[in-house]
Amino acid sequence: MKALLVAECRQGRLVADSAELQGFARALGAGASMVLVGNPGELPRFDGRLYFADAREYGEYNPDVHKRLVLQAVEAERPDYVVFLHSSYGWDLAPRVAVAMRSAQVSEVGGIVAGGFVTGCCNGKMRRTVRPLTPCAVLTLQPGAFPAEPSGGEPEILRLEAVKDASVELLRYEPPSVGGIDLSRAEVVVSAGRGVGRREHVELVRALADALGGEVGASRPVVDAGWLEHERQVGTTGQAVSPALYVACGISGAIQHVAGMKGAGFVVAVNTDRDAPIGEVADLLVVADLVRFLPALVAKLQA
Ligand SMILES: Cc1cc2nc3c(=O)[nH]c(=O)nc-3n(C[C@H](O)[C@H](O)[C@H](O)COP(=O)(O)OP(=O)(O)OC[C@H]3O[C@@H](n4cnc5c(N)ncnc54)[C@H](O)[C@@H]3O)c2cc1C
């Protein structure tokens, strides 16, 4: 089985999540080659063939040209799977490649099971297993679903060339509006999850954040309930944070949340459920009711 992994370059830098593509190939037990339109100074460490085109020549994003470059690598490799990250690049490019190849596409793959791929549906409330029936399938990977593969050696580089296209030009990237709140720079983030139970209990989380000199973050249900601003949401559809200390209060550890805080230095989780998945990423799991534990901890810190 062969997978062609489509790595990404943004603002001249190799996107770190590209290493998750390699983690996916390993989990699938597939041999892998890679394709990248990127910066020659930022090549992935990868034990295999890297089909490469220089983004300074072809643009960091130009849908039609990038599609043609990826298809050249597909033609050379004839893979069983063409694999993108489920990022703005993958959302845009994967369907174009799938249509050109007349291949099935499976979006936001979060797991592999015998004979298929697991993806979310109904806004994440259900999971389904999908089996592509075309000889080659195009996939996009849910962020954080597959472990980043430790970097390998020097890839064997094969240059790609395509006719340039002047119909689209990438002008600039615009940073998301974060209002006055920029969690990405905070040294300490204390986040409230659905386990806070009600709006008033968000104040318990805020008190701990204040006592630690940190910022308040949130999981999506807390934001959806209107208890905290969207700018405070941590996760795939919120901000990515990398504080020295992350405290997850009443957060189960869904993959979409973990993807936003996996860069944290030390993770403390407070949860009534000792088997909550957050325990797998936490350095310290406090099995307690946050309504009782947080005030006690704040009182200790203040003393
Ligand atoms: C496309 C998509 C994008 C998404 N993007 C994001 C995102 O960016 N960020 C995000 O967070 N989610 C996101 N989600 C939602 C995600 O899938 C989860 O539903 C969400 O993260 C769950 O939030 P939670 O952990 O707060 O709630 P739950 O999963 O309901 O967990 C609540 C936890 O609180 C614990 N608890 C209950 N009572 C107490 C108590 N008294 N004391 C201590 N612990 C208690 C429970 O044991 C449980 O573990 C996204 C989903 C989809 C489909």
Cβ contacts of 53 within 8 Å, gap of 6 or more: 36, 37, 69, 159, 160, 161, 162
Check if 59 has its Cβ closer than 6 Å to any atom of ligand 1: no
Reported in sequence order, the residue ranges of the chain that DSSP labels E, i.e. its strands, are 2-6, 9-10, 13-14, 31-38, 49-54, 81-85, 104-113, 116-121, 126-130, 137-141, 156-159, 188-192, 215-218, 245-249, 266-271, 284-287
Does residue 143 have its Cβ closer than 6 Å to ligand 1? no
For residue 100, the number of C-alpha atoms closer than 13 Å in the C-beta half-sphere is 18
Predicted pLDDT at 176? 66
252 lines ligand 1 (CB under 6 A): yes
Take residue 294 and report the two structure tokens written for it.
Answer: 């947080």
Its pTM stands at 0.74
Residues in Cβ contact with 208 at an 8 Å cutoff, skipping those fewer than 6 apart? 190, 247, 249, 294, 297, 298, 301
Q: 8, 57, 40, 9: which is closest to 164 by C-alpha?
A: 57
What is the Å distance from ligand 1's center to 179 Cα?
Answer: 24
List the pLDDT tens digit at each of the 303 positions of the chain: 999 999 999 999 999 889 999 999 999 999 999 999 999 999 999 999 999 999 999 989 999 999 999 999 999 999 999 999 999 999 999 999 999 999 999 999 999 998 799 998 776 667 899 999 999 999 999 888 898 888 789 999 999 998 887 788 888 888 766 566 778 889 999 999 999 999 999 999 999 999 999 999 999 999 999 999 999 999 988 888 989 999 999 999 998 999 899 889 999 999 999 999 999 999 999 999 999 999 999 999 999
Ligand 1 pocket, residue 290 CB under 6 Å: yes
Instruction: Locate 195 and state its tokens.
Output: 């386990």
Question: Structure tokens of 208?
Answer: 């701990």
- Quick one: pLDDT at residue 174? 82
What is the per-residue pLDDT for 236?
A: 87
How far apart are the C-alpha atoms of 288 and 303, rounded to whole Å?
A: 21
Domain 183-302, CATH 3.40.50.1220 — does that match? yes
Q: Which atom of ligand 1 is nearest to the CA of 276?
A: 49
Q: Where are the beta strands (DSSP E) in 21-172?
A: 31-38, 49-54, 81-85, 104-113, 116-121, 126-130, 137-141, 156-159
Is the Cβ atom of 72 under 6 angstroms away from ligand 1? no
All CATH 3.40.50.1220 domain ranges in the chain, comma separated: 183-302
- Take residue 20 and report the two structure tokens written for it: 């998750």
Ligand 1 site-directed mutation target among 194, 232, 239, most atoms within 8 Å of CB: 194
Indicate if ligand 1 lies below 6 Å from the C-beta of 236: yes
Closest CA to 201 of 176, 179, 218, 214: 218
Q: CA 10, CA 36: separation in Å to the nearest integer?
A: 11
Residue extent(s) of CATH 3.40.50.620 domains in the chain: 2-159
Strands laid side by side in the 266-271 sheet: 215-218, 188-192, 245-249, 266-271, 284-287
The response to whether residue 250 sits with its C-beta less than 6 Å from ligand 1 reads yes
Dist CA 183 CA 42 (whole Å): 27
Neighbours of 118 (CB within 10 A): 17
What number does CATH give the domain 2-159?
3.40.50.620
Residue 240 dihedral angles phi and psi, to the nearest 5°: -100, 130
